[in-house]
Structure 1
Amino acid sequence: MARDADKLDWLSTATSGARKELTTLIEFERNANRITEVATGVIPGLLQTSDYARAVMQHLSLDEIETMVLMRVGRREILMKPKAPNLVCFISEAALLESIGGHAVMTEQLRHVVKMSEWDNVDVRVVRIGTTSLHPAHMGSFILFEFPKATPIVHMEHYHSSVSLHNPGTARAYQDAVTNLHEVAMSPEASAEFIANCADEKENDIDDTP
């Protein structure tokens, strides 16, 4: 799909499609020169720690969890290869405030995001809650894969299904949405400071836990 923009949009449903979906995402990531993820509920996959990923996947069996966590963490290697893609993450403040996995897991996760945001090819921006204006992040999470010589692909995950869209008109709409989010999100520097402060607060919550 990453090489051929003429194929039909791809829809995966049910748990049996999870591995196929992950394989497809890995293919997209390997071929993309730019990956933009808008995350409104959880931390983006390429930024997740092992413990946080386990907490996100707690609905799976133990064997499935360990396999999927290894694959998810392994995907991060694409950001370290020669000519690695640029990763741009717009993370909703709400995703930073939820202590998925507990305060200790979330503290580690937030500090990991700050550390990765220091990489030259990783751009992390926080989208604050409390705005009075509607923006694209209010419409839900998505990943936009852009390629050197192919039509961009938009990937969206739902509770029990996922869909990959690569119609040129759809891709342009999501590219425009990303442009809009650059205008409403915090700067990378301010975002890193904000996330670090969230980590400090989570750490204090650990100390206050009976």
Structure 2
Amino acid sequence: MVNIRSLDPSASPLDYYGYELRRLREQAGLNQAQLGDILYCTGSLIGQIETARKVPTREFSERLDAALMTDGLFSRLVGLVLKSQLPSWFRPYVEMEQKATYLYSFEGLMVYGLLQTEGYARALMGARFENDLDGLVAARIERQRILEREHPPLLWAIMTEAVLRQEVGGRKVMRDQLAHLLAMQEREWVKIQILPFAVGAHAGSLGSFTLLRFSDDPDLVYTEDFVQGHMTVDSTAFKDGSLRYDHLRAAALSVEDSSALITRVMEEHYGDQPEPGGSELA
């Protein structure tokens, strides 16, 4: 039994979520175990979320709305909760990412965040963060919802061949991640190119970066160091980033040849063919 503690609903989105969950559960005449049975989870999990000790997922929130007939309340709240789990310095970027019309990303060391599976994201962030890993992973997957919108941004992602061959999270996690890249490649608004080892030194050798273009806001460049990220709308910086990206796009394999390389890496390292149509895992 989780100890009952008072929550200040104004303290954070997570506290407000837990406060409302307890209030509406009690209003429905259910204890934690009973609600857990309805949602196919434990009463302990209900208690942890009610006391802001665990971050709810979107799936949990949607089932909760159905069980308590709350007209989408928790499905709306969970977006705020998950955004609050992001590092404070990263939140302004996510807000701009959600407004972007075009996203052009170059990654030299890891799969681009919007294309990561949950398993890959967990393994990647688990190597860096010890606390609040569940919340961080859920927040990353939540960001990917922009690709499911009726009018998603055009995403063009260039990654080095090293990203494909660096095994993250074990064989199954990495195999599923490569299959997910192939599945995403089938979407008309997602383009993935791989920069092969044979290119040698290239325009992205100094680090990863993302270019964001908007319909109504100034274009910007986003970069990260090992501490935090940096955004700038400086036109000279954006012009330089665009030129670098054009060089990378020209040096990378075509979209079709990139898919062939991803498939070949899967066969060589995992002895497995991608399923027809790919595997939607994130």
- TM-score bin (small chain): 0.7 to 0.9
Secondary structure of the residue aligned to 1:144 is strand
Q: Distance in 2 between matches of 1:189 and 1:154?
A: 27
Partner of 1:61: 130
CA distance in 2, matches of 1:31, 1:67: 23
SS, match of residue 88 in structure 1: strand
- Are the counterparts in 2 of residues 53 and 69 from structure 1 also a CA contact under 8 Å? yes
Aligned: 1:48 with 2:121: no
- Which structure 2 residue ranges, 5 or more long, are not aligned? 1-84, 273-282
Amino acid at match of 1:202: H
Asked if 1:139 corresponds to 2:206, the answer is: yes
Q: Which has the larger radius of gyration?
A: 2
Partner of 1:171: 238
SS at match of 2:183: helix
Answer whether contact 1:104 1:202 (CA < 8 A) is retained: no
Contact 1:106-1:202 within 8 A present in 2 as well: no
**Which of 8, 25, 28 is equivalent to 2:96?**
28
Residues 1:102 and 2:157 aligned together: no
Taking only the aligned residue pairs, the percentage that are identical comes to 26
- Other-structure match for 1:13: none
- Whole-angstrom CA distance in 1 between matches of 2:181 and 2:142: 16
Q: Which of 222, 225, 248 does residue 158 from structure 1 map onto?
A: 225
Cα deviations by residue, 1:93-152 (Å, 9 ceiling, x for unpaired): 0111100111221111011011001111000000011325x3212121111111112221
Equivalent AA in structure 2 for residue 188 of structure 1: V
Asked if structure 1 preserves the Cα contact closer than 8 Å seen for 2:223 and 2:230, the reply is yes
**Bigger RCO (CA 8 Å, 6+ sep):** 1
Contact 1:39 1:91 survives alignment (8 Å)? yes
1:18 CA displacement: 5.2
In structure 1, C-alpha distance between the alignment counterparts of 2:230 and 2:194, rounded to whole Å:
25
CA-to-partner distance for each residue in 1:75-97, whole Å, 9 max, x for gaps? Answer: 11101212210000001001111
TM-score by length of 2: 0.63
State the 1:25 CA deviation. 2.8
Amino acid in the other structure paired with 1:120: E
Give the whole-Å Cα distance in 2 for the aligned partners of 1:84 and 1:186. 24
Counterpart secondary structure, 1:159: coil
Asked if 1:130 is matched to 2:194, the reply is: no
Bigger CA drift: 149-158 or 115-124? 149-158
Richer in strand (by share): 1
Q: Calculate the TM-score normalised by the size of structure 1.
A: 0.83
Q: Quote the offset at 1:204 in angstroms.
A: 3.4
Code of the residue aligned with 2:158 in structure 1: it is F
- The aligned residue for residue 263 of structure 2 is 196
* Deviates most, 20-29 or 77-86: 20-29
Number of aligned positions between the proteins? 187
Is the contact made by 2:158 and 2:192 (CA closer than 8 Å) also made in structure 1?
Answer: yes
Partner of 1:10 in structure 2? none
Task: Check conservation: 1:107, 1:200, Cα contact below 8 A.
Answer: no
